[in-house]
Amino acid sequence: MSGVSDALSVEAGLASRALLGVVARSMAAALEEVTLPQFRILVLLSAHGPLRTGTLAERAGVHPSTLSRTSDRLVKGRWVRRITNPDSRREVLLELTSKGARLVADVTTRRAQELDAILVRVPIQQRQRVFEGFAAFCSAAGEDTGGDLLLLGLPPTAQASRNAQ
Domain boundaries, the chain: 7-154
Give residue 115's pLDDT: 95
Three-class secondary structure assignment of the chain? CCCCCHHHHHHHHHHHHHHHHHHHHHHCCHHHCCCHHHHHHHHHHHHHCCEEHHHHHHHHCCCHHHHHHHHHHHHHCCCEEEEEECCEEEEEEEEECHHHHHHHHHHHHHHHHHHHHHHCCCCHHHHHHHHHHHHHHHHHHCCCCCHHHHCCCCCCCHHHHHHHC
Mean pLDDT on 114-137: 94
Mean pLDDT on 127-131: 94
Whole-angstrom distance, CA of residue 37 vs CA of residue 28? 14
Under 8 Å between Cβ of 107 and 153? yes
Q: Which residue has the higher pLDDT, 105 or 164?
A: 105
Give residue 146's pLDDT: 57
Q: Which residues are CB-neighbours of 26 under 8 A, at least 6 positions away?
A: 107, 108, 110, 111, 114
Average pLDDT score, the chain: 88
Whole-angstrom distance, CA of residue 165 vs CA of residue 159? 10
Q: What whole-number percentage of the chain has pLDDT above 70?
A: 85
* CATH number, domain 7-154, options 3.60.15.10, 1.10.10.10, 3.30.420.40, 3.30.70.2740: 1.10.10.10
Q: What whole-number percentage of the chain has pLDDT above 90?
A: 67
Give residue 38's pLDDT: 96
Whole-angstrom distance, CA of residue 21 vs CA of residue 4? 25
Give residue 88's pLDDT: 86
